[in-house]
Amino acid sequence: MAPITTEHEHEHDHDRLKEVKQFDESKIGVKGLVDSGVTAIPRFFHHPPENLPGPKPKNRPRLTVPIIDLSEKKSTVVDQIRRSASTLGFFQIVNHSIPLNIIDTAVGSMKNFFEQSTEYKMRFYHREAGKGAAYSTNFDLYQSKAASWRDTLQVRMSPVEPDWEAVPEMCRTPLAEWDKAAVGLGAELMSILCEGLGIKSDRLKELTCLEGRVFASHYYPPCPQPELTVGLSSHTDPGVLTMVVQNEVGGLLQVKCGDEWADVEAVHGAIVVNIGDLLQMMSNDEYKSAQHRVLANPVEGARVSIAVFFNPSNRDKLYGPFPELVSSTKPAVYREFVYEDYMRRFFTKELDGKTLTNFYKVDNTKA
């Protein structure tokens, strides 16, 4: 008689790596699975119950991320951004310098790419981030315990200009225009954030924080079993600053706020801004890098987002708290570290909600 095995044991018995490799080598992405008509998601997308959002609590007011109007008086804007960066680490901005048509065209071109034929997209499917455009499913697919229901197109924009021939044709001009506009707004935001800390307004710019830019567009197609997986696992961003635009399919991006999760509403033309781990450490914990996640998409249309990650281009330099923010009453919370080492640590671990900032913390209890 065959031994009795539980469903739980079957879950562990399957050769996950083999299934992941098979999927990755097929180059069809999550969108390809949807197009093939799957009604059950592959097992390697199943997340353990503790990582899943669960039902929303009833009769509790809905938490949302603040929306800041950049056309307000400068001192008001500096104060509002400082307050949001110091508490939640996330905010949305409206009435900014980027024209609506540049955002809409960029988001539209990405949606157009992801909805091309599988054969066309296969030309761009690889995991070598330094080469032109890299289209793939989950950068941490092989490190993570469970995959997430999304596809990504990533392009390293700076300090070295991308090989445009290796970028999908329909994305080239919209991406170049979006990047140019994003740099201008990024410089303005970094200046405001420096003012909020009471340091020289071009301090982050001097540290090449505008020059190491990576562009990533995520595509979250409808998921047939959204209760079993996520769109993007809970994590913090490793860099200085992230700017995100998204299409109208909202209600999926959430930010950790105490023990609860706040929604980032889809506001047409608004830009979502969040503080990265590096800026939290450079600000000596004045600013906060918050955990955030994206739920699996339960609706008919796809969610499309574009993120620009601002990082220093000088990777061999030592980074740590700004000396002007360190004093006998506020000692350094973090030790100095080489940025290259820090990024290597980030990209060799899974997105597991654990921030790298703890690794660089100074034990001030011994002082």
Which tokens is 72 given?
């307000």
Can you give the pLDDT at residue 344? Answer: 82
CA 176/CA 188 separation, integer angstroms = 19
Can you give the pLDDT at residue 93? Answer: 98
Q: What residue ranges of the chain have pLDDT lower than 50?
A: 1-10, 12-13, 365-367
CA 231/CA 133 separation, integer angstroms = 21
- Angle formed at CA 315 by CA 314 and CA 317, multiple of 5 degrees: 75
Give the 3-state secondary structure of 128-162. Answer: CCCCCEEEECCCCCCCCCCCCCCEEEEEECCCCCC
CA 99/CA 40 separation, integer angstroms = 41
CA 31/CA 188 separation, integer angstroms = 36
Closest by CA to 209, choosing from 317, 66, 302, is 317
CA 58/CA 233 separation, integer angstroms = 24
Please state the φ and ψ torsions of residue 135, each to the nearest 5 degrees. -100, 130
Can you give the pLDDT at residue 86? Answer: 97
pLDDT tens across 98-134, in order? Answer: 999 999 999 999 999 999 999 999 999 999 877 679 9
CA 72/CA 17 separation, integer angstroms = 53
Can you give the pLDDT at residue 352? Answer: 55
Given a contact cutoff of 8 angstroms between Cβ atoms, the answer to whether 149 and 220 are in contact is yes
CA 270/CA 67 separation, integer angstroms = 8
Ordered by where they begin, the domains of the chain are 17-366 (2.60.120.330)
218 contact partners, CB below 8 Å, separation of at least 6: 150, 151, 152, 231, 232, 294, 303, 304, 305, 307
Q: How far is CA 55 from CA 49, 227, 234, 257, 295, in A?
A: 12, 9, 17, 17, 12
Closest by CA to 229, choosing from 301, 150, 306, is 150
Give the 3-state secondary structure of 245-265. Answer: EECCCCCCEEEEECCEEEECC
pLDDT tens across 344-359, in order? Answer: 887 776 555 556 788 8
Can you give the pLDDT at residue 95? Answer: 98
Instruction: Look up the pTM and report it.
Output: 0.91
